[in-house]
Structure 1
Amino acid sequence: MRLLVLGGSGFVGRAVVLDAVGRGWEVTTFNRGRRGGSVAGAEVLHGDRMTPSSLDVLRGREWDAVVDTWSGAPRAVRDSAALLSGQVGTYAYVSSRSVYAPPVSPGADETAPVLASSPSAEEGDYGEQKAGGELAALGAFGERALIARAGLILGPYEDVGRLPWWLARAARGGPMLAPGPRELPIQYIDGRDLAAWLVSSAAAGTGGVFNAVSRPGHATMGSLLDAVVAATGAAATLRWTDPEPILAAGVQPWTDLPVWIPPGHEYETYGLHSADVSRALAAGLAPRPVEETVADTWAWLESIGGTAPQRADRPAVGLDPDVEAAILASVTTG
């Protein structure tokens, strides 16, 4: 198989390249060359997708499939999909569950309403941009387009900082704020599992729209943080705390305390931990245990000196240590 990866240097794109090269595929990457290094065994092409003439290096070549990880103005997807429509079999676009228009009902599947957008949009928030990218891929490839609506993505090479922050916090040791309830179900996908599914789906010529995450409750906040503490050497002691004092301290779920969305919070209307993923699971998506994802992410962090890369287009996440200490003190003395 011949695979073109638009991206391919960071997180999911890198995982796609590693998976495909590991299968013996002929892999070509196209990116600006600003993030990470190239993967041995892959051909590297450079260009800026916001400059349409940069795509000329792809013109006249053929691949069996393309995986596109673009996050930004949809016209970049529009232009690449239009150029490649006669040169590629399957166009797999890594989208997001942020495309769904809130409120998203618990258990919603791929037919839930999405945000209004355009494949030619120049502006818009993350969800609107991803929705526009979907329209661009579908417009050029139709049934040959594979739309992977990934949710929370964790694992080695993560460049948003969610799981790396929890791991770094646990590695500092001491009493550690654990936002409850402990049994709160979470929904995510290991970037390597998403990559393997994308590559296998590309090989099969699979098209259509899929919620590409684990089932709700594949892990819980409890199993996630237990794995975090275990992976880092058990220097931290979890202090499970009800949502009320945490929220009263002005803490923002999802950003200050990554992954966590307490019951009844307004963020629940985005459906980030409650999607129906039966279609993707039936199509072969196979999420690994949370303990493996956490342990491998910690091993990767240690291998690069403990500091994860941070995407320039995403704000840093994590809780101020002073705020954490104040919350722990209040619930201990209260």
Structure 2
Amino acid sequence: MRLLILGGTEFVGRALTDEALARGWEVTVFHRGRHPAPPGATVLRGDRTAEGGLAALDRGEWDLVADTWSGAPSAVRDTARLLAGRAAGYAYVSSRSVHPHPCPAGLAEDGPLVDGSPDAGDVPYPEAKRGGELAACDAFGERALLVRAGLILGPGENIGRLPWWLLRVARGGRVLAPGPYASPIQYIDARDLAAWTLDAAARGLGGPYNLVSPPGHTTMGELLDTCVRVTRSGAELCWTDSEPILAAGIAPWTDLPIWLPPGEDHTTLFTADVTKALTTGLRCRPVRETVADTWTWLESLGGVPPQRPDRPAVGLAPETEAKLLGG
């Protein structure tokens, strides 16, 4: 298989590239050169947001194009149109955010969608991802695979959610642990996303697929307990109900990454129907593997994870945590 990955040097794009190279595929990465390209990949340079920035893609044929773009849909439109006659399929890593908020429990791929346009410029994230989907479908039709991910974790994460928890737990002491302990969470390890996407594309699958772990895969409690075990820090998790956390002005998801209190936000993000992906081969590794491998990766970086410049840093200020815990 000949894969063209648009990006391919960070987190999800890098996971796709690494997985394809491990399979012996011929991999070409098209990127701006801000990060090193994976060894073994052919490199094309360009900036899809600049005039003439796609010139390096004027030639070449591929079995699959993989695209993780989350900016202006017009960039997906222009790239997909350019490649439509020279690639067999187009896998666009989208998001479950294409559904209007809030979502009912158990929402499948056929739920309502936000408005979007393949011709749009800079628009909010849900509309950007929906516009990207439409752009991929306009150019590739049934050959467009729409990978609607939820929360993505794993080694290489450049948003900072799981890295923040691991580094906080590693510091030890009393750690604010947001309850309920048994609160279910759904996520996808970037490596499992990559494996399923390449398998699905190789089989010629198209259309939308929710791609997160199945219900019951793990809980907030198991996730943080695992952080304590893999870091061997001896941290004390202080489980706290959501009410005092919210009353203290602590923001779910940003101040306390991954966590959402019971309610419509939690239902929207953590109760997706993933039957369609499971029946087409999705396999999700245990949470202990995702956490342990992320910690190993963090340690290799000296405990300083990368941070996407277009996303705000996450995490709770130590003084705010200490105040809520009474010291």
What's the TM-score, normalizing by structure 1?
Answer: 0.96
Q: Distance in 1 between matches of 2:287 and 2:212?
A: 13
Matched, 1:108 2:107: yes
Structure 1, unmatched stretches of 5+, are none
Could you give the per-residue CA deviations for residues 182-223 of structure 1, whole angstroms, max 9, x where no partner exists?
A: 000000000000011111112111111000111123110011
2:22 is matched with 22
CA contact (8 A) 2:171 2:233 kept: no
Q: How many pairs are equivalent?
A: 327
Q: Is the 8 A contact 2:100 2:113 kept in 1?
A: yes
Partner residue, 2:241 = 242
Match of 1:179 in 2: 178
Q: Which amino acid aligns with 1:302?
A: E
Q: CA deviation at 1:234?
A: 3.2
2:307 aligned residue: 310
Q: Give runs of aligned pairs for residues 113-262 of structure 1, distance below 5 A.
A: 113-262=112-261
Q: Which runs of 4+ in 1 moved over 3 A?
A: none
After TM superposition, give the deviation of residue 268 of structure 1 in Å. Answer: 3.4
| Offset at residue 52 of structure 1 (A) | 4.8
CA deviation digits over 1:159-194, x for unaligned, max 9? 000000000100100011110000000000000000
In structure 2, the residue matched to 1:56 is: 55
- Whether contact under 8 Å (1:6, 1:30) holds in the other structure is yes
Q: What one-letter code is carried by the residue in structure 2 that aligns with 1:290?
A: V
Q: Which amino acid aligns with 2:258?
A: V
Partner-residue secondary structure (3-state), 1:318: coil
Distance (Å, rounded) in 2 between the aligned partners of 1:305 and 1:230: 19
C-alpha deviation, 1:55, in angstroms? 1.3
CA distance in 2, matches of 1:155, 1:52: 35
Provide the secondary structure at the position in 1 that maps to 2:70: coil
Structure 2 unaligned segments of length 5 or more: list them: none
Structure 2 counterpart of 1:268, from 266, 269, 279: 266
Distance (Å, rounded) in 1 between the aligned partners of 2:181 and 2:165: 15
CA RMSD of superposed structures (Å): 1.1
> TM-score, length-normalised on structure 2?
0.98
User: What SS does the corresponding residue of 2:97 show, helix, strand or coil?
Assistant: helix
**1:285 correspondence with 2:255:** no
1: distance between equivalents of 2:221 and 2:266?
19
Q: Which amino acid aligns with 1:311?
A: R
SS at match of 1:223: helix
Deviation at 1:60? 2.8
Structure 2 Cα separation of the partners of residues 235 and 103 of structure 1: 38
1:172–1:235 contact (8 Å) kept in structure 2: no
Displacement of 1:86 after TM fit? 0.5
Partners of 2:266 and 2:228 lie apart in 1 by 26
